[in-house]
Amino acid sequence: MGKRIGMEVAIAVAEAVGLCDIDMAAVYPITPQSHIAEHLSDLVANGEIDAEFVTVESEHSAMSAVIGASGAGARAFTATSSQGLMLMHELLPIASAMRLPICMAIANRAVSGPLNILNDHTDIMPQRDCGWIALFVENGQEAIDLSIQAFKIAEHKDVMLPVCVNIDGFQLTHMVEPFEMPSKEEVDKFLPPFVPHATLHPAKPVTMGAFAMSDYFTEIMKAKDEALKSSKKVILEVWDEWAKLFGRSYKPVETYKADDADVLMLTMGSMGETAQMAIDELRAKGVKAGLVKLRMWRPFPFEEIKAAIKNAKKLIVTDRAITFGGPGGPVFAEIKSAMCTETQRPLIYNYIYGLGGRDVPVGDFVGMFEKVLADTENKAVGTYEFWGVRE
């Protein structure tokens, strides 16, 4: 049986990854991810896990090294944040095109400039189209659970794609939280050994990362898209199995008091728990407010999101990143495009908030609801606003 413990979330993520019989990790330090790198190093140094920890000289080399190791047939892990993720960017679509089941923890942090070490989602959003499975967590327990599930999802023969688990930097990584850590036996039961399709070994020589021109390129892109879309089925199966083994269930879209809600808010990541408190406050005042939490960013869960929001009158999409000069926040753009062909859909608003670690207390979420409810003429529908910005 797993045990109840209290621990810093970043360290717990390293512990969880350590339960997964990884063969290799290459992690370059960056705030607020570094505790994952440090604790994994500890686990290797103390012989608690039998893996190579490669102390690379950059995140670019971290991703390159895990690609090499994964190509060799090793279960490989890395972690990063912000600028480190941006430095890895070039290699992310290569890892997915090569169908390598690499797992990565991202301690989400604002991207420069100006330099800022605190949390938002401006690092992961530019990676959206790289062909990775991208999942978000709301608390430490989810960070642990998804870090373990990630290997099973990535390595499934019908998936064979890299997975990133997004864990809000500081807000989550540096919190000491109570949670249940699965035991090694439980993880061994859940996670079978990695059986790669092909490896870089002289026993059976293969060519990986070949050069392809226009006669094959489109087909390879289509294959990647199909693989990513069909990975949803496997993710749902893995979550079902997890629920049976551990009693904690996961869904692509979670809801809170959303069924009868007139006005909904949509969050992604750790803000969900604060927003939930705002919902309770509003409900106490008689406002039929509800919350929708998006866990699965890629593949995007169109059906689940439509089902969760279609009955509301208004929907507030919150974003922790912006597509400059574009439609507003990236989540907003996604939800709008998902709903544009639906006959029954809410009026959609967008608030961009919590950038560069700016605190968003419960009152701010209540304020967003109040502002949207006060817009009786629907003037702000379809627009975006930087919440709380000083102008």
Partner 1 sequence: MSIVENFDLFAPRLINRKELLSSGHRACSGCGEVLAVRLMCKALGENTVIAAATGCMEIISSMFPTTAWRVPWIHVAFENTAAVASGVEAGLKALRRKGKIDDRYVKVVGMAGDGGTMDIGMQALSGAMERGHDMIFVCFDNEAYMNTGIQRSSGTPMGASTTTAPAGKVSSGQKTWKKNMAEIMVAHGIPYVATVCPSYPLDFIRKMEKAKSIKGPSYIHCFSMCPTGWRSPSHTAISMGRLAVETGVFPLFEVEDGHYRVSPDMPKKLRPIRDYFKPQGRFRHLKDDEIDKIQERVNIEYKKLTEKAKFLKTGN
The token pair that represents 60 in the structure block:
């670019």
- The region of 55-63, 256-264, 306-314, 364-372 touching partner 1 under the rule CB under 8 A is 55-63
Question: Rounded to 5 degrees, what are φ and ψ at 47?
Answer: 70, 15
Comparison of 49 and 258: residue with beta carbon closer to partner 1: 49
| Residue 365, token pair as written in the block | 């979420």
Options 24, 134, 167, 187; binder of partner 1; rule CB under 8 A: 24
Q: Taking contact as CB under 8 A, which single stretch among the options 20-28, 184-192, 292-300, 345-353 is the one that binds partner 1? A: 20-28
Q: For the packed helices 330-339 and 302-309, what is the interaxial angle rounded to 10 degrees?
A: 80
Pick out residues in 188-227 that bind partner 1 (CB under 8 A): 193, 199-203, 205-213, 216
Footprint (CB under 8 A) of partner 1, residues 226-255: none
The region of 53-61, 253-261, 352-360, 380-388 touching partner 1 under the rule CB under 8 A is 53-61
**Among candidate residues 130, 141, 143, 138, the one with its CA nearest the CA of residue 102:** 130
At closest approach, how far in Å is the CB of 230 from partner 1?
Answer: 23
Among 13, 32, 43, 68, binds partner 1 (CB under 8 A): 68
Q: Which of 295, 287, 293 minimizes the C-alpha distance to 260?
A: 287
Counting residues that bind partner 1 (by CB under 8 A) gives 46
Closer to partner 1 by CB, 196 or 329: give it. Answer: 196
User: CB within 8 A of 93, min separation 6: which ones?
Assistant: 129, 130, 131
- Which residue from 9, 16, 19, 26 is in contact with partner 1, where contact means CB under 8 A? 26
Strand 76-80 relative to strand 24-26: parallel, antiparallel, unpaired?
A: parallel
What is the b/e burial string over 297-334, where b = at least 16 CB atoms within 10 angstroms of the residue's CB?
bbbbbeebbbebbebbebbbbbbbbbbeeebbbbbbbb
Least distance (Å) between residue 40 CB and partner 1: 14
Instruction: Indicate which single residue of 17, 36, 43, 76 sits in contact with partner 1 (rule: CB under 8 A).
Output: 76
Q: Using CA atoms, how far apart are residues 146 and 136, in angstroms rounded to an integer?
A: 9
158 binds partner 1 (CB under 8 A): no
Residue ranges in 96-125 that form contacts with partner 1 under rule CB under 8 A:
98
Among 9, 13, 27, 74, binds partner 1 (CB under 8 A): 74
Nearer Cβ to partner 1, position 213 or 284? 213
Choose which of 72, 347, 373, 381 interacts with partner 1 (CB under 8 A). 72
Q: Which is nearer to partner 1, 215 or 391 (CB)?
A: 215
> How far apart are CB 71 and partner 1 at their closest, in Å?
5
| Phi, psi for 334 (deg, rounded to 5) | -65, -45
- H-helix segments, 247-378: 271-284, 302-309, 330-339, 362-374
Tokens 């039961």 -> residue: 189
CB atoms within 10 A of CB 197: 10
99: number of CA atoms within 13 Å, CB side? Answer: 21
Question: In angstroms, what is the minimal distance from the CB of 306 to partner 1?
Answer: 38
Binding site for partner 1 (CB under 8 A): 23-24, 26, 50-52, 54-58, 60-62, 64-74, 76, 90-91, 94, 98, 193, 199-203, 205-213, 216
